[in-house]
Amino acid sequence: MTRSFLASACTAVVASLCLLVLQAPASILLRNDANYVGSIIPGEPASAAEEVNYINTLIGIAANGTFVDLGADNATGGSGPNRDHSYARSSLAGPFDTASIIGGVKIEGGGNSTTTTGLYQYILAKYDGPNGGDLVWYFSGGVQLSDIVLPLNAFGANDNQYGLSHFSAYNPTTDGGGGVEEIPEPMSLVVWSLLGAVGIGLVRIRRVRI
């Protein structure tokens, strides 16, 4: 009876660990979610310096506000590299830290997630070339880059027309500060719960044998 119970308990622990590894938590980023800052149309040019400028312009606009930055190529219908940029802010009030190019990373390759790790305050997702735009999210204490999942499509018809071109992360942080709530990892909670169950079972078996 003791061996059977221990074998069943160990099997449950291993199975739970495997399930948790396969179901690693993800931060699914959506337009208009709690961390969404706003959009920029178009998202070109798309150098790191330009993207940081877009972010800082966006966070300088009042919540729910809009702004059109008239580019130098406005006279040609906005077809040149210095075209107009339209900004639309969400209701997220801030305050925001100024975005910086220092330590930023760009993830390319067509996927909407990455194995690259690190905590970053700003996530910028660029869609299509000249036709789509950028979506921006802000996390005061940083979000783990390897945990995020971005929309594969945005802008255009039904906000689902243009594919993700790349995404960038700015303002790396290592202290996790800024009001992020620390929650025990699900894996730790389950493991300790299962081990506790095993201990209780052993105590009961011992009492029965005595």
Question: Are residues 9 and 42 both part of a single domain?
Answer: no
The number of folded domains in the chain is 2
In this model, does residue 61 exceed pLDDT 50? yes
Question: Are residues 16 and 117 both part of a single domain?
Answer: no
* Residues with Cβ within 8 Å of residue 157, at least 6 apart in sequence: none
Query: Do the domain assignments include residue 178?
Result: no
Tell me the mean pLDDT in the region 154-181.
80
- pLDDT confidence bin for 23, thresholds 50/70/90: very low
In this model, does residue 3 exceed pLDDT 70? no
Query: Do the domain assignments include residue 118?
Result: yes
Question: Are residues 76 and 6 both part of a single domain?
Answer: no
Q: Name the helix (H) or strand (E) containing 172.
A: strand 162-173
Cis peptide before 151 (omega within 30 of 0): no
Region of poorest pLDDT, from 16-20, 90-94, 118-122: 16-20
Tell me the mean pLDDT in the region 196-207.
48
- pLDDT confidence bin for 187, thresholds 50/70/90: very low
- pLDDT confidence bin for 82, thresholds 50/70/90: low
Tell me the mean pLDDT in the region 179-188.
32
How far is residue 128's CA from residue 205's CA, in Å, rounded to a whole number?
A: 64
The pLDDT, as a whole number, for residue 26 is: 72
Spell out where 42-133 has E strands. 66-69, 85-89, 105-108, 119-127
Question: Are residues 18 and 62 both part of a single domain?
Answer: no
The pLDDT, as a whole number, for residue 176 is: 43
Question: Are residues 150 and 62 both part of a single domain?
Answer: yes
Question: Are residues 98 and 165 both part of a single domain?
Answer: yes
In this model, does residue 198 exceed pLDDT 50? no
The pLDDT, as a whole number, for residue 130 is: 85
Q: What single letter denotes the amino acid at residue 192?
A: W
Query: Do the domain assignments include residue 181?
Result: no
Burial call 112-125: b when 16+ CB within 10 Å, e when fewer: bbbeeeebbbbbbb
Query: Do the domain assignments include residue 131?
Result: yes
Tell me the mean pLDDT in the region 3-13.
47
Q: Tell me how crowded residue 131 is: count the other CB atoms within 10 A of its CB.
A: 14
Question: Are residues 36 and 114 both part of a single domain?
Answer: yes
In this model, does residue 33 exceed pLDDT 90? yes
* Residues with Cβ within 8 Å of residue 65, at least 6 apart in sequence: 89
Question: Are residues 7 and 68 both part of a single domain?
Answer: no
Task: Output the average pLDDT for the chain.
Answer: 77
- What share of the chain in percent tops pLDDT 70? 65
Tell me the mean pLDDT in the region 32-61.
96
In this model, does residue 31 exceed pLDDT 70? yes
Domain that holds residue 36: 31-173
The pLDDT, as a whole number, for residue 13 is: 41
Query: Do the domain assignments include residue 193?
Result: yes
Question: Are residues 148 and 124 both part of a single domain?
Answer: yes
Query: Do the domain assignments include residue 197?
Result: yes
